[in-house]
Amino acid sequence: MTLTNLRHDIRNVAIIAHVDHGKTTLVDALLKQSHTFRENQEVGTLIMDSNDLEREKGITILAKNTSIRHGDVTINIIDTPGHADFGGEVERVLNMADGCLLLVDAAEGPMAQTRFVLRKAFEVGLRTIIVINKVDRANADPARTLERVHDLFLELAEDADQLEAPVIYAIAKEGRAGLTPDHLGPDLEPLFAAIIESVPAPVVEPGGFQMLVANRAYDDYTGTMAIGRITRGSIAPGDTVAVLGTDGAQRRVKVASVLMYRGLDRVSVPSASAGDIVLLTGLEEVAIGDTLADPESPDPLPRIEIEEPTVRMTFGVNTSPFAGREGKFSTTRQLRARLYKELDTNLGLHVADTAVAERFLLSGRGELHLAVLIETMRREGYEFEVSRPEAIIKVINGQRMEPVEHLTVDVREEHLGGVTEALGKRRGEMIEINYDKKGGVRLEYKIPTRGLIGFRNAFLTLTAGTGLMGSLAIGYRPWAGDFREQRNGALTASSAGISLTYGLAGAQERGTTFIEPGEEVYEGMIVGVQKRPGDIRVNVCREKKQSNVRSSTSDISVRLTPASKLSLEQSLDFLADDELLEVTPKHLRLRKRYLTEVDQSRARRLAEAARS
Ligand SMILES: Nc1nc2c(ncn2[C@@H]2O[C@H](COP(=O)(O)OP(=O)(O)OP(=O)(O)O)[C@@H](O)[C@H]2O)c(=O)[nH]1
Ligand SMILES: [Mg+2]
């Protein structure tokens, strides 16, 4: 008989779902009900979405840990992002858990990312609890949702054990759960009970200390912290551990302190042992995926495997005439150091040098993954320029291959025509269509990643903001042929200066403008979009000619339509191949890669010469 030791006092559980299905809201409720906060302490909502960008966007970007007590049991909870672009965050933290709560919105049912996270959970052998959330929604259909979840289980489960999963119904927003959809209890007790009952207690493997570094955190007092779940042995401040790196490299370091999560805090503890999720300080250069082990038994754990990026773009030193004006950091050296540093924690990201020293190639899991990095860096004071995001094409066995995604969209029936037409043009292949009784349609597509870049904005317009979409990279397929829809031409500034009402009014006769009067522009900067293909130069700085009879009201007769300001994501969507986005802490400016007519025609001649 083998003696396995179990830590009955601990449950390690990850919360996984498609975007917005209510993970972070459920963590709020779990924290509140376990009396983690002082009486009357104001904590607000979406407590775990603690960084600025998460709060602004209302989505989780980084996976995070917390811990609560329920009776004699410590429940360590890992909240994960549901957006596909941050899938790397989910992959890397699942190894800290023994079980997961798979949340599914009772109205939406399983979406693209539900499939992805469930597949990953099964791969690492997690036990699942199905949580059908938002049963309060007007169009909730818990029975149908459960049926679809079961279909997904049959498709993805790797062994029969995984098919058995308890089902809990919940309204995370009200902190209530129950065993049937129409009889929820007053609190989350049924969910707590299910976690304690069916998430396995951590197994204590025999042997010396061992832990896989799943995450890192930083704080000014303690420096870098290595976060992970101890699989073997125990650890105390002052212990020496071997850090096992990528290439079999090994070095010894002393652990300064051992911390554990308590609610939203991290507290110092005298020791921790197998099953615990800990933060270790004093180790400095530890990479995610490294194993920390007892120097006497330095056995490495398998490194964390992350799916490959599908989208890439260049980040370069700002070459606009305004370079160096608005950013604190703008040199090649600063940009390069910052980008490579990102690799320490952003596992889904790749960075490479290019033939040009001032330009770097960044590859990520989607447009949003790269956009979040851009936004983070500009807030830190960086200025730089980026190119249009593109799908990563590979040549495999001499054949041109491109990434393909499984796309799930939910639209109202009246928008069906527009959406299917747009997806058809982008080489989408419909695999399934399902009508529900309430005028909604769910479509499943296989579509090249290329076809999805820039699609989100079009989709929101086509569905008047009511559509839902989610996609998941499913691998590489032979190149589906060219289909790039030509965007309407850009209105570019014909000379440098300050934009004026009169000049902008002239530009508005040709199309839609992106800037307000009084903004500084340079030649070749994009100030709007015209009504048909082909760029046009416009003089937005033009003044109204003074007439002999001076009239104080002469300018008032010009009425401007307000500028249509593009957000970062909209700007990235807008970019054509011969354009760049200038990013500074203060401005986003679209521009032609070659600013003047002379440079543009020279570039065209060179390109033609290279082709012939
Ligand atoms: N009606 C209803 N709305 C809910 C419920 N639970 C959460 N929501 C709402 O759903 C939205 C998304 O909730 P979040 O908790 O941020 O979802 P999430 O799964 O953490 O999202 P990501 O981390 O970005 O993937 C919020 O507006 C919540 O208020 C619920 O039970 N019923
Ligand atoms: Mg969240």
pLDDT tens, 38-68? Answer: 666 777 788 889 888 998 889 999 999 999 9
Average pLDDT over residues 228-254: 92
Please give the pLDDT value at position 557. 60
Q: Residue 225 is encoded by which pair of tokens?
A: 């912290």
Question: Which atom of ligand 1 lies at the shortest distance from residue 113's CA?
Answer: 25
Please give the pLDDT value at position 40. 65
Half-sphere exposure at residue 184, Cβ-oriented, CA atoms within 13 angstroms = 22
Question: Which atom of ligand 1 lies at the shortest distance from residue 58's CA?
Answer: 16
Please give the pLDDT value at position 552. 46
pTM: 0.89
The per-residue pLDDT for range 475-524, each reduced to its tens digit, is 899 998 888 767 889 999 999 999 999 999 999 999 999 999 999 999 99
Question: Which atom of ligand 1 lies at the shortest distance from residue 21's CA?
Answer: 19
Please give the pLDDT value at position 546. 66
If you measure from the C-alpha of residue 189 to the centroid of ligand 1, how many angstroms do you get, rounded to a whole number? 20
**Atom 13 of ligand 1: nearest residue by CA position:** 22
Please give the pLDDT value at position 352. 96
H-assigned helices in 327-465: 332-342, 367-379, 416-425, 449-452, 455-462
Please give the pLDDT value at position 553. 47
**How does DSSP assign 53-73, residue by residue?**
HHHHHTS--S-EEEEEEETTE
The per-residue pLDDT for range 292-342, each reduced to its tens digit, is 999 999 999 998 888 889 999 999 999 999 999 999 999 999 999 999 999
The per-residue pLDDT for range 389-434, each reduced to its tens digit, is 999 999 989 999 999 999 999 999 999 999 999 999 999 999 999 9
C-alpha span between 465 and 596 (Å, rounded): 38
Asked if the model's pLDDT at residue 93 lies above 80, the reply is: yes
C-alpha span between 514 and 581 (Å, rounded): 13
CB 47 within 8 A of CB 73: no
Q: In this structure, which ligand is nearest to the CA of 188?
A: 1
C-alpha span between 259 and 166 (Å, rounded): 33
Q: In this structure, which ligand is nearest to the CA of 172?
A: 1
If you measure from the C-alpha of residue 82 to the centroid of ligand 1, how many angstroms do you get, rounded to a whole number? 11
CB 252 within 8 A of CB 238: no
Q: In this structure, which ligand is nearest to the CA of 85?
A: 1
Test site for ligand 1: of 16, 18, 25, most ligand atoms within 8 A of the Cβ: 25
Test site for ligand 1: of 15, 19, 20, most ligand atoms within 8 A of the Cβ: 20
**Atom 14 of ligand 1: nearest residue by CA position:** 22
Share of the chain above pLDDT 90, in %: 71
Asked if the model's pLDDT at residue 210 lies above 50, the reply is: yes
**Atom 30 of ligand 1: nearest residue by CA position:** 134
**How does DSSP assign 402-417, residue by residue?**
EEEEEEEEEEEGGGHH
Average pLDDT, the chain: 91
- What band does 551 get if pLDDT is binned at 50, 70 and 90? very low
C-alpha span between 133 and 460 (Å, rounded): 25
Average pLDDT over residues 356-360: 96
Q: In this structure, which ligand is nearest to the CA of 17?
A: 1
Q: At what angle do helices 112-123 and 142-156 cross, to 10 degrees?
A: 50
CB 289 within 8 A of CB 301: no
Asked if the model's pLDDT at residue 549 lies above 80, the reply is: no
The per-residue pLDDT for range 583-603, each reduced to its tens digit, is 999 999 999 999 998 888 888
Please give the pLDDT value at position 348. 87
Question: Which atom of ligand 1 lies at the shortest distance from residue 17's CA?
Answer: 19
If you measure from the C-alpha of residue 238 to the centroid of ligand 1, how many angstroms do you get, rounded to a whole number? 42
If you measure from the C-alpha of residue 113 to the centroid of ligand 2, how many angstroms do you get, rounded to a whole number? 13
- What band does 248 get if pLDDT is binned at 50, 70 and 90? confident
Question: Which atom of ligand 1 lies at the shortest distance from residue 170's CA?
Answer: 31
C-alpha span between 5 and 285 (Å, rounded): 32
C-alpha span between 141 and 127 (Å, rounded): 25
Q: In this structure, which ligand is nearest to the CA of 86?
A: 1
Which residues lie closer than 8 Å to 567 by C-beta, 6 or more apart? none
**Atom 21 of ligand 1: nearest residue by CA position:** 20
- What band does 470 get if pLDDT is binned at 50, 70 and 90? confident
Lining ligand 1 with CB less than 6 A are 17, 19-25, 46, 59-60, 81-83, 133-134, 136-137, 171-173
CB 505 within 8 A of CB 472: no
If you measure from the C-alpha of residue 61 to the centroid of ligand 2, how many angstroms do you get, rounded to a whole number? 8
If you measure from the C-alpha of residue 557 to the centroid of ligand 1, how many angstroms do you get, rounded to a whole number? 49
**Atom 27 of ligand 1: nearest residue by CA position:** 20
CB 440 within 8 A of CB 553: no
If you measure from the C-alpha of residue 130 to the centroid of ligand 2, how many angstroms do you get, rounded to a whole number? 17
Question: Which atom of ligand 1 lies at the shortest distance from residue 103's CA?
Answer: 19
* β partners of residue 511: 530
Query: 199: closest CA among 165, 222, 236?
Result: 165
